[in-house]
Structure 1
Amino acid sequence: MEKLKMIINAYKGNKKIMSAKELSLVTGFSEKVVRNEISNMLSNPSIKIKPIQSTNKGYELLLDKQEVKNFFKQQENKANILDYDSRKTYIINRLLLEKEYIKLVDLADELYVSQATINRDFREVKEYLIKHNLTVSVKPAHGISVEGDEVSKRLCFVHNNSHLLSSDLKSLTQICDLEPEDYYIIDYILHKNFITYDFYVTEVGHKNLIIHIMYMISRIKKGDYIDSVEVEYEISEVELKIAREIIENIERKYEVTIPENEVDYISLHLLGKRAGHEDLGLKISESTEHLIHKINLKIWEHLELDFRQDFDLFYGLALHIEPMITRIKYGMSLPNPLLKEVKLKFALAFECAVIASKVIYETYKKRISDEELGYLAIHYNLAIEKNEKKGNEKKFLLICSSGFGTAMLLQRKIKNEFNVGNENIKFASIKELLEIDLSKYDYLISTVTIPFEINQKVIYIENIMSDINIGDMTLVSNKKLYKYLNKQTFFTENLGETKEIVLKNICKKLNDFDIADKNLLEEILKRESLSTTEIGNMVAIPHPFSLYVKKTVLVISILKRPITWQNKKVRYVFLMLFSKEDLGIQHELNEELIEYVTDSKWLLKLDEIQSFEKLLSLFKGEK
């Protein structure tokens, strides 16, 4: 398209017809390239308005300067708006920015998609708008428009476009009728005021606030103001001062008059984006303290993870939850660029966050976005990792006679596989054993036979690269999931066309096999309602909110055709069910499962499997 653009821009002044040779001389392309570019454009059925036509005298330009500009803008839109997410963003923006009614048929033309596609997209858009307290008004023969208060429209816009900040700043500023330089001007205004008042805002919150202010400027220029802001939380004098300073700076720079209600709007965002900082001192409200204790109690009841006396976690959550409650109360969003990685790598911690979201909903009757759950999960993952390290302070004594290199290999293996620090791994020769207090060590591992008796069990290994079993610990082969596969829970037949039907059919089969009881489906759907379990790679990992089975089992379903789970297509369904006795290994098993399902090559191998025996071999890592 860039070559075609240069060819069309070669037409200067009043000259409307140029030969391939003339266009070649101006553009620097060969005559063959010129002819091919124009021919490809003329034969492309998706390009309805042709900017050039071929005549006996040469190539005739059919559009004026503005029409040429519009033509390439349309082609650029077409190139950028092909996937569902981009179409969804575009449709929402059009509805939020347009005061008049818009017809779906016009949106279909703008996006170069069929009427059926735009109807399907619009159903998802409508649900998205409802989540942001906005409704769709339909007027026969006129089209559709969005209705709702100004605050809800702004929050929806920012949530819909925040991803552009890192990927397409130019488009984001253009949507707000601004230039990229304006982003940096507003960034400077915020930084200056935050430094002046010694006020701390997270980096994500800072960038998010810039988008709010850019859109605020755009709306005010068009005469769209906030009528009122209901403030239910106490806003400090510092936050009000900063908000007023920011508003005054914006008024001077952009020559606009901003109403007082906008000060409250900015103040609320400062309250919701404020970062906890130890130097400021933290005043933990009684309600927040009670909420955290209630959350951790529920986590203990559901997952048997005990955080009830973890002060580091309590403090970190308190710092985060105070401003988070403000955000969810007023429908504010805080983008989470780490969300996908958190859901994949910190599966157990994310489940803790899901349980927290249920408690918060019961308390405030407000649902929490996946982005917020991701931030809570980070806090819980830190606590989980700390507990794992704390619970694995075993001391090892390595007895080697084949040289320092072998000892170092063995040390590295134990360190990596057992998560043991170097300080808890010591070395000794056979001679030194007689002089060492062996009672200080939990495990003695030897590569050579000890020729005398010692009053402690020794674990012998013949091959430094072989597996080592140490009670409930295993080295080298971390593959354990295969032990929980069951021929009765491997499905390759068609189980339905929707998420609900697929889950219903899986649960029915598990009920028939007496693997799970009739409440399983209800518990799985309850968990799905809190946060979707699709993770990409056409994979979903549904699981019950709080239900245990008699025996831990991994259920696998390979669907004949991909289905839409919530936002993404899913073909592989992995349902991990735990017995209460195996809760201690759920983190380990979940991590192994995530390692598999995020590997596209592994999924391709799974695709080829039709028998349970081959499935078992795949999970064992056998070739």
Structure 2
Amino acid sequence: MCNSRIATILRELVAAKSASSIVTGEYLANINRVTSRTARNDMKELDTLLSKHGAGVKSIRGTGYELEVWDDQAFHRLLQEMFRDESMQQGGIPDTQEARVQYLLQRLLLTNEYMKLEDLADELYISKSTVQNDLRDVKKILQQYGIVLEKRPNYGLKLKGEEIKLRFCMSEYIFNQKARELNKINEQLSIIAKEEIIIIRNVILGQIKEYGITLSDVALNNLIIHIAIACKRIRSSNHVSIYENELVRIIKQYEYKAALEIVEAIEQSLQISFPQTEVAYIAIHLLGTKLVTHTDMDEENLQVLMDKEIYPLTLKVLEGIESKLNLGIRYDKELIFGISLHLKPAMNRYRYGMNLRNPMLAAIKTNYPLAFEAAILAGMILEKELEIKIDENEIGYLALHIGAAIERKKMLHQPKRCMIVCASGVGSAKLVYYKLQSKFGSRMEIAGTTEYYKLHQVPMHTLDFIISTIPISDSLPIPVIEVNTILDGNDIQKIEHTMLDHSNETLEYTREELVFLQQRFETKEEVLRFLGDNLQKQGLVKEGFIDSVFQREAMSPTSFGNLVAIPHPIMPETDTTFWSICTLQRPILWKDKQVQFVCLLSVEKNSTTDLQKMYNLLGKVVEDQSLVQQLLKCKNYNEFTRVFLGKR
């Protein structure tokens, strides 16, 4: 019906319409990696297509494009038809290496028989050597589950591993991770009849309600899938085996009783017999869900609820985050409860090697970058303490708790921070100090007093403004309020105005020699090496700094969408906080996203500064499509700063 570029443009227009925003031509050209002229031709082609289906593209001169729909039913039918076409293409012969790896995983997971290399090559219309190359990636995925690809001469290939791990792998790679709703669970693979899926769902809902177990929608659908896979595997005589001592431990758990009730109801409805180990398998899934949603209990009751090691582990995690990022959330009671309650099922998930999906991961990384960084630190502490590997999905869930705590802190009144500059001596400085304290109270935090000649030693990024009794001609990154030594009403009014004025944003974290515009690089590695070498030449970073940045990228890519990436070292390493910025003439692929604006961020080690203001500034770039497009056009530093600060 339409090519992939047209489909991409339509998706962007639909998303923009739902957000009541406009999409620029430059943005569409960049995400499809084509010229502006090609993008305009694509737009004409899309408009012609839409005109036959109750919609069209409206061009707003000098601004961009927006979707118009005058026949909702006709337009909805078009979207459904396009979705089916896309699904058919995906269900056809895989034509990319990624698609072939997915296909090979499914074929191997869904058979109990040996499969010959020649047959797989014929199915995919590729050579044996290509299949062998693809199987290397298949093996890497299987290793995560402790599954091996057994090769037997004259027979072929077959998967070998624990049944429970095979099922976890099936759940992850047979179902599309993005389609978790009940009505989509059975569309991609007829594991069991749709009617049986509905029965399983109703049984689960009934039992978890009776036992007071709380499941999210994602966890519910995940459990439905695992029980459906269990039914299919049991019918083909493949049973889960669990070590005897582990089985005894599970049977003693509260969740085992709920699992037993679920199994008895399913056995009666589906005419299938579950052995005891299969009941334990379902109990494992219930153990891997959040069981309590209340946060109104006191600390003593929380410690009773938790396993004895979880509560102190939570405190250690929060202390680690506080020591590195100084977020001021260490004693947030609701955060302590939330992390503690999350860790109990998380530890059970890792005990049994269960896979966890987080459909909100991309949104969390984009909208809560500071919380996600804190969660990365939490994950590192947990890995060290528990000797387990914390994956990106789990980090995303931890970030939700931390993000909520940051938002709660923002709701509290935050005082403005200032420094007093006074040339007439300690007495007059103290006079200004006490007058300000009596007038503004808790609304103002006075960091101290200083002489003019020592002003260059003051860390400006820790302050909101400076109050000075003498004129200051130096160009400073924050506002300077000149007042009389004996503060009068006019002085107080000027200070009040500055405290209420939020328009004084500055680029205090970067400078001209750290900004590189319109560069020609082809890969993420080239960009990072270039920025790292420049920072090292300027003496801002030590050798190994960029290696730490690559280490952080390996944990979770820092591409946030909207063509923006904000890479940084895995731990604070430098003596100051700064940005080094690079814009590119053409977008590059950064893991799975296109990137054209790179802000290499370094945070001061052992900093006591509140970084929320800085992250808010970066968040403005991540969220503002129009701003990014304007910044990408800038050809010199002065133009860049004007655009960034909204003075364009």
How high is the TM-score relative to the length of structure 2? 0.66
Q: Percent of pairs identical after alignment?
A: 29
- Cα distance between partner residues in 2 of 1:376 and 1:454: 50
Which residue matches 1:44? none
Does residue 185 of the first structure (1) align with residue 199 of the second (2)?
yes
Please tell me whether Structure 1 or Structure 2 has the larger radius of gyration of its CA atoms: 1
Match of 2:498 among 445, 462, 469: 469
Greater Cα shift, 564-573 or 144-153: 564-573
Is 2:351 aligned against 1:313? no
Q: Distance in 2 between matches of 1:109 and 1:601?
A: 49
Q: Which residue of 2 aligns with 1:131?
A: 144
Contact 2:583 2:598 in 1 (8 A): yes
Alignment deviations for residues 57-103 of structure 1 (CA, whole Å, 9 cap, x no partner): xxxxxxxxxxxxxxx99956447977887665544323321334557
- CA gap 1:145/1:505 in 2 versus in 1, 3 angstroms: farther
Cα distance in structure 2, aligned partners of 1:107 and 1:468: 73
Aligned partners of 1:511 and 1:118: how far apart in 2? Answer: 44
1:98 pairs with 97, 111, 136, which one? 111
Given the superposition, is the C-alpha separation of residues 144 and 534 from structure 1 closer, same or farther in structure 2, using an over 3 Å criterion? farther
> What CA deviation, in whole Å up to 9, does each residue of 1:505-552 have, x standing for no partner?
432221112121113123223323332323334543221122243443
User: C-alpha displacement at 1:132, in angstroms?
Assistant: 2.8
Query: How many residues are treated as equivalent by the alignment?
Result: 496
2:213 aligns to what SS in structure 1? coil
246, 260, 266: which one aligns with 2:262: 246
1:459 matches 2:488 = no
Choose which of 364, 368, 374 in structure 2 pairs with 1:352: 374
Shifted more, 480-489 versus 240-249: the winner is 480-489
Cα separation, 1, equivalents of 2:91 and 2:146:
30
> What is residue 512 of structure 2 aligned with on the other side?
486
Partner of 1:575: 600
Specify the alignment match of 1:544 in structure 2. 569
* Structure 2 CA distance for aligned equivalents of residues 361 and 441 of structure 1: 40
For residues 438 and 605 of structure 1, the distance between their equivalents in structure 2, rounded to whole angstroms, comes to 43
Question: Residue 380 of structure 1 is aligned with which of 392, 397, 402?
Answer: 402
The offset of 1:184, in angstroms, is 2.1
- Quote the Cα distance in structure 2 between the aligned partners of 1:536 and 1:80: 30
How far residue 270 of structure 1 moved from its aligned partner, in angstroms, is 0.9
Instruction: Check the 8 A contact 1:554/1:577 in 2, yes or no.
Output: yes
Any residues of structure 2 matched to 1:223-234 within 5 Å, and which? 223-229=237-243, 230=246
Q: Distance in 1 between matches of 2:568 and 2:592?
A: 18
Question: Does structure 2 conserve the Cα–Cα contact (< 8 Å) formed by 1:526 and 1:545?
Answer: yes
Deviations 1:284-334 (A, max 9, x none): 233112211211121122112243322221112111111111112212133
| 1:204-603 pair list within 5 angstroms | 204-229=218-243, 230=246, 236-278=252-294, 282=302, 283-392=305-414, 442=443, 457-460=491-494, 469-470=498-499, 474-476=501-503, 479-481=505-507, 484-490=510-516, 492-494=518-520, 497=523, 499-500=524-525, 502-558=527-583, 564-580=589-605, 584-603=609-628
Written as runs of structure 1 = structure 2, the 5 A alignment for 1:23-172 is 75=88, 77-78=90-91, 89-101=102-114, 124-137=137-150, 145-160=158-173, 161=175, 163-166=177-180, 169-170=183-184, 172=186
Q: Distance in 2 between matches of 1:388 and 1:309?
A: 15
Instruction: Decide whether the 8 Å contact of 1:295 with 1:359 is kept in 2.
Output: yes
Q: Which amino acid aligns with 1:299?
A: I
CA distance 1:244–1:510, change in 2 (3 Å): same
Distance in 2 (alpha carbons) for counterparts of 1:579 and 1:350: 18
Q: Is the contact made by 2:507 and 2:641 (CA closer than 8 Å) also made in structure 1?
A: no
Tell whether the 8 Å contact from 2:326 to 2:610 is kept in structure 1 after alignment. no
CA change 1:382–1:488 in 2 (3 A) is closer
Cα distance in 2 for residues equivalent to 1:120 and 1:600: 39
Secondary structure of the equivalent of 2:574?
coil
Aligned to 1:425: none
User: For residue 13 of structure 1, what is the aligned residue in structure 2?
Assistant: none
Whole-Å separation in 2 of the counterparts to 1:114 and 1:621: 56
Amino acid of the structure 2 residue aligned with 1:204:
V
Cα distance change, pair 474–166 in 1 and its aligned pair in 2 (3 A): farther
Structure 1 letter corresponding to 2:516: F
- Alignment partners' CA distance in 2, 1:117 and 1:596: 42
In 2, the alpha carbon distance for the partners of 1:324 and 1:530 equals 18
What stretches of structure 1 of length at least 5 have no aligned partner? 2-71, 395-436, 444-452, 462-466
For 1:297, the aligned partner's letter is: E
The question of whether the paired residues in 1 share the 8 Å contact of 2:196 and 2:270 is answered with no
> Which structure ranks higher in relative contact order (CA pairs < 8 Å, sequence separation ≥ 6)?
2
| CA drift at 1:197 | 2.6
Is the partner of 2:598 in helix, strand or coil?
strand
Aligned partners of 1:133 and 1:152 also within 8 Å: yes
Distance 1:258 1:518, change over 3 A: same
The residue number in structure 2 matching 1:198 is: 212
What is the alpha-carbon root mean square deviation over aligned residues? 4.1
1:569-614 Cα offsets, whole Å, 9 max, x none, are 5454321122358763532222332332344444444444444344
Given that 1:342 and 1:378 are in contact with CA atoms closer than 8 Å, whether structure 2 keeps it comes out as: yes
CA gap 1:238/1:292 in 2 versus in 1, 3 angstroms: closer
DSSP 3-state at the match of 1:366: coil
Matched letter for residue 372 of structure 1: E
